[in-house]
Structure 1
Amino acid sequence: MIVLLGFCLALASCSALWASFPEAGLSARSIVLVDAGSGQILFQRDSDLPLPPASTTKILTALVVLESGRSLSETLTVSKNATYVPSSKLFLRPGQMMTMRDLLYALLLSSANDASLVLAEGIGGSVERFAGMMTQKARDLGATNSRFTNPHGLTAPGHYSTAHDMALIFNYALKNPTFREIVQTKTSVVASITAAGRAARVRKIVVQNHNRLLWNFDGALGGKTGYTLAAQRCFVGSAARNGATLTVSLLGSRNLWGDTRKLLEYGLQNYETLKLAAAESGSYLANGQPPTQPEHPPSSLFSAAEAQSLKSPLGYILQIGSFRERDRAESLQKTIRAGGLQAFVESWPLNSGETTYRVRVGPYSQLGQAQAAARDIENRAGLRAIIVPAAPVAPPAERPS
């Protein structure tokens, strides 16, 4: 087993981890990728920039409703005010009734603006009071760079949030079983009820989730889209694979699904390495908790055999990146070789049966030499390296020409 030493990959835009994943390829104005379990920030760009969040606002709308203590089987009556809101909507009519559960499905699947107003008026008594409840809930969660003036996210003065805050709010909301069930639903049927004397007319409405990942992304757990002209395309959602659960939050995207898939795929494929980098930087969501620091120095956490391997005369290797796809590893290898360094690609089997491809430089006989080489690589190429002790027995290495 290879034991990592002090140097960890950093998540700067020029980081080696992202060498085959250029930050310039992401169109969103504000981005954060988070370990949903710990709140650890794995990647971010301008994540605290206040921007219009469009219909991702409805995540918080649903959360305030779900925590109101009211029964979801309770019916709410549609006001005239609720019918005036622009699309997207169910085209409800004044006096119609819907259960709170159906309103939540319409809100989170088809992003119905009229449903958001019916909920806001029913829970808060007025849209203004409900918006105040939303802002207060956000602040209670640690989302202090947000202010909400409506429950639907249509552009309005003083209505703003950040990618960081929306990720924080979504992570919290996803712990609610009802919220989680709704955002994972692809299609549902809701009903509006119109009183007609002693009888009642029931109108069935099919609502379909706007989150494309539910159809074509392995491990998608749900999310919420948004769009206005001012906000451009927005998304907050989560995905899980192999024990890792990530939340991505993007505001102001011009290529929403391209950005989202790229971030989630890379984060899930490189989860362990990104966690190491994030632990070094110490960046967490406002309500995230860093892992407890060990009481003993790191060397005491190693077995006797592992501790001895740290002193091995076999020396040290610089690891520049780790990839599931060989072509991406070879691309980084060529970049490093172009700078005059003899990089090689080493294949390493994983317990899952897959193979990871590690881009490495070395070996160096002394730790000091490895540290000096790592600094030189960072200064010349903008790449940060992990220093690992050379393994006495290594899997077959691939050294493409």
Structure 2
Amino acid sequence: MRVWRKALALLAAVCLLPLHAGAAGAPAVSAASAILVDGESGRVLYEKDAHVRRSIASTTKLMTALVVMDRCRDLGEVVEVLEEDTRTEGSSMYLRAGDQVTVEELLYGLLLSSGNDAALVLARRFGGSVEGFAALMNEKAAELGMADSSFANPNGLEEEGHWSTAADMAKLGAACLEDETIAKIVSTPSISLGGRYLTNHNKLLGLCEGCVGLKTGYTEKAGRTLVSAVRREGQLLICVTLQDPDDWDDHIALYDYGSAAYPRQVLVEAGARTATLPVTGSLVPAVEVETADAVAYPLAEGERPRVEIHLPEGAVAAPLEREVPVGELRFYLDGEPIGRTDLVYSASVRRDAAPPPPLRRLWDRLTGGGG
């Protein structure tokens, strides 16, 4: 492979991305810990003590839901509520011993009403016990790269060994949004299920433009905790605040800042023609290569990504199949990789007898080939 450094139209387009209007500085927030992340790229747009371990209260239930969805094969499965499931403090979906409730109803009660009772029923069904379910939660945390998190129960009530960080909870929020069922539930303002009317505690669904969930929390030790997300003009933003007395306003202010200061920029579209490669073994003298996927990244005013085109050196030999990868397009910002896509053949080329020498010499003169 070689890196092409020719002044291609694609390179010019990337280097001349339009400047956007400068945004005001980052807002001051009341939270002890906070983070704002671009959900598509993972770029951190704002953070404040985001790696400090703190109590997370009922935002824990996002992990509970994710573990359940990893193991649930039927949302319509009916689970019987036991007396021990109802013996819990705090928020509840008001289950009673002997109730027959579906897993789907329990998930809505868990994520909308923040039911601590629903959390216990789900933990017993999918983990065998609270302790067994907590072990599954910690396995999932490790899988998601949540290195500064520890779970001891499925509901977020204060307990030794139960904590996380704003940065880790942002990872959890992103994972939950990738699950279609969880994403649907956390974006639901209210619903009637199984004779119960459940209302979402997340007021941002009505207060914040583009909000798509996720979960609130509160205990006396943790204070107010909130994991939320918005979609604006194709950009997904995820925000987490811990110990925040003014979380609604802080999340709205951070989203307004993030979407203005770091708007999503499409660096290259899918199907963009980037180069032409000479072909041997065919009557077709050359084949174009194009991008397999679009690449986007949030950029601040004045930031210019660098692009590299990696393609084979010299000619490629027929036969060639359309959409087969032949190279890469890589993007860098301040020396760090920020995105990539495969470069693929834009058309299939069959193997034929070589073209007559005069035609080959003409092609070489036109393309600068021939050694």
TM-score normalised by L of structure 1: 0.61
2:299 corresponds to: 276
1:49 aligns with 2:52: yes
Distance 1:50 1:220 in 2: 26
1:231 corresponds to: 222
SS of 2:183's partner is helix
Letter in 2 for 1:104: L
Letter in 2 for 1:242: E
Letter in 2 for 1:129: G
Distance change >3 Å, CA 292–CA 251, structure 1 → 2: farther
Distance 2:302 2:50 in 1: 18
Distance 1:64 1:86 in 2: 22
Residues 332-355 of structure 1, C-alpha deviations (whole Å, 9 max, x = no match): xxxxxxxxxxxxxxxxxxxxxxxx
2:130 corresponds to: 127
After the TM superposition, which parts of structure 1 deviate over 4 Å for at least 4 consecutive aligned residues? 1-5, 277-280
SS of 1:32's partner is strand
Distance change >3 Å, CA 232–CA 279, structure 1 → 2: farther
Letter in 2 for 1:233: R
Q: CA deviation at 1:214?
A: 1.2
Residues 46-100 of structure 1, C-alpha deviations (whole Å, 9 max, x = no match): 1111000100000010000011043111111112221110121022222212000
1:179 aligns with 2:179: no
Distance 2:27 2:198 in 1: 37
Distance 1:228 1:259 in 2: 19
Distance 2:186 2:78 in 1: 21
2:331 corresponds to: 293
Q: CA deviation at 1:240?
A: 1.0
1:141 corresponds to: 144
Query: Can you give the 5+ residue segments of structure 1 that lack an aligned partner in the other structure?
Result: 9-15, 192-203, 283-290, 298-401
Distance 1:292 1:55 in 2: 40
CA contact (8 A) 2:51 2:165 kept: yes
1:115 corresponds to: 118
Distance 1:125 1:271 in 2: 45
SS of 2:51's partner is coil
RMSD, aligned α-carbons? 2.8
CA contact (8 A) 1:41 1:278 kept: no
CA contact (8 A) 1:79 1:95 kept: yes
| Structure (1 or 2) with the larger CA radius of gyration | 2
- Residues 15-34 of structure 1 aligned to structure 2 (within 5 Å): 19=25, 21-23=26-28, 26-34=29-37
Hey, which of these two has a bigger chunk of helix by percent?
Answer: 1
1:309 corresponds to: none
The one of 221, 239, 243 aligned to 1:248: 239
Q: CA deviation at 1:2?
A: 11
1:89 corresponds to: 92
TM-score normalised by L of structure 2: 0.66
Residues 357-384 of structure 1, C-alpha deviations (whole Å, 9 max, x = no match): xxxxxxxxxxxxxxxxxxxxxxxxxxxx
Hey, which of these two has a bigger chunk of strand by percent?
Answer: 2
1:263 corresponds to: 254
Distance 1:190 1:154 in 2: 26
Distance change >3 Å, CA 294–CA 237, structure 1 → 2: closer
* Relative contact order, higher structure (CA 8 A, sep 6+): 1
Aligned length: 263
Q: CA deviation at 1:18?
A: 5.2
- Residues 156-175 of structure 1 aligned to structure 2 (within 5 Å): 156-175=159-178
Query: Can you give the 5+ residue segments of structure 2 that lack an aligned partner in the other structure?
Result: 1-11, 265-296, 306-328, 336-371
Distance change >3 Å, CA 4–CA 177, structure 1 → 2: same
Q: CA deviation at 1:277?
A: 5.0
SS of 1:174's partner is helix
Letter in 1 for 2:331: Q
CA contact (8 A) 2:27 2:253 kept: no
The one of 22, 37, 40 aligned to 2:40: 37
1:68 aligns with 2:59: no
CA contact (8 A) 1:244 1:271 kept: no
CA contact (8 A) 2:93 2:114 kept: no
Distance 1:278 1:64 in 2: 40
CA contact (8 A) 1:40 1:278 kept: no
Q: CA deviation at 1:205?
A: 1.3
Letter in 1 for 2:107: L
Distance change >3 Å, CA 278–CA 210, structure 1 → 2: farther
Distance 2:217 2:254 in 1: 18
Single out whichever of 226-235 and 262-271 deviates more from structure 2. Answer: 262-271
